[in-house]
Amino acid sequence: MDGAEQDEMPKGRFKRVLLKVSGEALMGDQPYGIDMTTADRIAREIREAVEAGYELCLVIGGGNIFRGLSAAAKGMERAAADYMGMLATVMNALAMQTALERIGVASRVQSAIPMTTVCEPYIRRRAVRHMEKGRVVIFAAGTGNPFFTTDTAAALRAAEMGCDALFKGTSVDGVYDDDPRKNPAAKRFETLDYIDVLARDLKVMDASAVTLMRDNQIPIVVFNIREQGRLARVLDGDGVSTIVGG
């Protein structure tokens, strides 16, 4: 698939999509680390989307390996802790690249912190060209700056890449008014305005990420990445999700 132009037109309303995956999603049933079986499953879903004509880029968190904010709360200097968290996202990005490449999906990892031995530096125009050629671009190391979350990095890259939507893969099938894992009566929202998310503090993404998406009029689609086949269905407009700002 390397270098192949995408001839098929995607079925859904979005063509170029940034997929934000939490580091915890890569743990599978493990208490920490990377479960390659889970990475392989997500890779197969990404391949299905690419073959359907979608242009995809990814941002993966690092919470399965190291969470900077938690370390800072335990006494580590915040900037140093955040840089360690950024390095964890590079590890996850390389794991996802491995999973993609071994099923024939061409991919590139671009890091906001230059480390040319293992991946490309982040260059916006190069990343756009990779996607136009059908390659999946995985953005690592957040924004390259401490004090910014991977949510903010995902929103920033979605805006820079001219994405039609930001898909956030979580462990639940949308945004609820309460935690559905604790409250069976929790109500799922079909759609929300950006201002509703901010005013009600619904924890879709951090406030700076939601504001950036609002200012650039990029919808946020929240869905369950843990359910097999859900990504393709949501991309095609058939799956269960919550759309913010759409």
Name the β-bridge partners of 137.
57, 108
Helices within the chain (DSSP H only): 36-51, 68-73, 78-101, 124-132, 150-160, 194-200, 207-215, 230-235
Query: pLDDT value at position 130?
Result: 97
Query: pLDDT value at position 9?
Result: 65
Percent of the chain as helix, strand, coil, to the nearest 5: 40, 20, 45
* Per-position pLDDT tens, the chain of length 246: 555 445 566 777 899 999 999 999 999 888 889 999 999 999 999 999 999 999 999 999 999 998 766 776 688 899 999 999 999 999 999 999 999 999 999 999 999 999 999 999 999 999 999 999 999 999 999 999 999 999 999 999 999 999 999 999 998 999 999 988 899 899 999 999 999 999 999 989 999 999 999 999 999 999 999 999 999 999 999 889 999 997
DSSP 110: E
Burial class (CB in 10 A: 0-12, 13-18, 19+), 73: exposed
Amino acid letter, 59: V
Question: Which residue ranges form the domains of the chain, and what is each CATH number?
Answer: 16-244 (3.40.1160.10)
Query: pLDDT value at position 31?
Result: 87
Query: pLDDT value at position 15?
Result: 95
Collapsing DSSP to helix, strand or coil, 39 comes out as helix
Query: pLDDT value at position 43?
Result: 97
Query: pLDDT value at position 198?
Result: 95
